[in-house]
Homo-oligomer: A and B are copies of this chain.
Amino acid sequence: MAVAAAVSEEAWLAALLEVESALAACQADAGLVPVQAAAAIAAVCEHPERFDLAALGEQAAAAANPVEPLVRALSARVPEEAAQFVHWGATSQDVLDTAMMLVSRRALDLVLDDLQRLADACAILADRHRSTLMAGRTLLQHALPITFGLKAAGWLTGALAGWQQLSAIRTHRLAVQFGGAAGTLASQGDRGLQVLDRLARRLDLAEPVLPWHAERSRVAELGAALAVAAGAAGKVALDVALLTQTEVREVAEVAPGPSSAMPHKQNPVAAIEIDAAARGVQAQTAVLLAAMRAEHERAAGAWQAEWTALSEAFRLAGGAVGRAAQMVGRLEVDEARMRGNLDLSGGLVMSESVTMALAPALGRTRARELVQTAIRRASTGGSTFANELARDPEVAKHLGQEALTAALDPARYLGSTQAFIDRTLTEYRREFPSPLRGGNLSDLSRRGGR
């Protein structure tokens, strides 16, 4: 899976070397390091595959830090006169934190793309099913009619919220870390800020006002935003899982999972995997939030817990969002079943509608009493809610047959549903206006099939 690769050990190694290479280049620009040395360092850093990941991993455990052994390995591969200038005046945390930002940017781009694909897929459903009636369910009970398009629009707002927050972090919060051993850049003489500035530009990362070795809000916010994005996917997955229940069956995954025991089962496997992944992200977020508690100029434990926690959070969030995009993009929707379930309660789902229809004439209190009487009679007798209403003289007096039928028609009790869907699609198009992604929903349809 793409995000998993972006946070793999190989990806981290390449990013660490990229930082060492960029550092030497910027220091060469600033006159701290010979240009040839920087070139020699760059030449070695371009080949992460020549380093022994397993050996580095073992040494990293011994040093509580992968950069220290990497600097040794890198220095050993660089000609001696250049080796002196490897990692010039930097500290391990400079390289690791900056690499963490590079890794995060690449992984973020993939997660953002998946969130966009999820948004695409939700937008298509929102538009296509804007009038597909189904039961709105609150506290797991039928409440009022909604349309499946409105539900999908709700999923879309979740994807957009996740996308917006992660986009903002990508733009503003991914910053180079360069402070030297204790954050003063003393090792860079009077060129510290110059190197810092060049490094930020070269790596296309934000330049912080101050090194952030012990101010970890960037990482904590990123972790929380990943949990929110995964949470948006998890919300969709939960709805899908509930809608695929044997008793509900309103949607189906296109490739449900087989059962090892039961030939008839159609397990909502994508929804399940998304849910499991979202749970894992939240656990890692807790580690990242707790890591703000950093001792002095570098934390002894909390910082070291960040690396795997963040990688794991990305891997799981990427899995959750990517799979959600795929699942929603290929969801099978059973409109007849949606309508059938809506009618299951024999019209009870229209109780508020009837109450509101009676209220102008009778007042809400009396209207509610009449409706509740009809509900009671319907539930004890063998009749339906509609029949009981029709046979109640006080109801009949104020609601003629036609008005009663209208009040019992789910399609006529959708309020602002269409407007809400339109508002959501408008915001969606504002976020993703690029021609590639199309400005109209027929384009959307093609995109959803990816």
Contacts and interface: CB of A to CB of B under 8 A. Distances in A.
Given A280-B308, A298-B139, A420 B146 contact: no
Nearest to A345: B246
A71 B300 contact: no
Contact of A290 (B220, B290, B417): B290
B192 A239 contact: no
A144 B228 contact: no
Contacts of A263: 351-352, 355, 368, 371-372, 375
Nearest to A75: B365
17 contacts: A63-B257, A80-B365, A136-B182, A137-B245, A141-B265, A144-B180, A150-B184, A154-B210, A161-B221, A181-B261, A192-B419, A210-B423, A224-B225, A231-B293, A245-B248, A263-B352, A283-B286
B186 A295 contact: no
Contacts of A84: 359, 363-365
A192 B416 contact: yes
Question: 8 tightest A-B contacts by CB?
Answer: A275-B301, A136-B182, A231-B292, A224-B224, A186-B415, A138-B298, A64-B269, A276-B304
Contact of A192 (B184, B270, B278, B415): B415
A165 interface: yes
A168 to B, nearest CB: 8
Nearest to A246: B142
Interface string A130-142: 0000011111111
A297 interface: yes
A2 interface: no
Contacts of A145: 182, 184, 186
A249 to B, nearest CB: 9
Contact of A221 (B87, B224, B265): B224
A135 B210 CA distance: 18
Given A91-B261, A146-B182, A269 B62 contact: yes
Given A217-B162, A289-B224, A186 B235 contact: no
Interface residues of A, number: 165
A442 interface: no
Residue from the set A83, A192, A279, A292 with the largest chain B CB neighbour count within 10 Å = A292
Contacts of A218: 161
B184 A420 contact: yes
A172 to B, nearest CB: 9
Interface in A199-232: 208-218, 220-221, 224-225, 227-228, 231-232
A415 B193 CA distance: 9
A52 interface: no
Given A182-B138, A289-B285, A273 B304 contact: yes
Contacts of A309: 280, 283
A420 B209 CA distance: 7
A8 interface: no
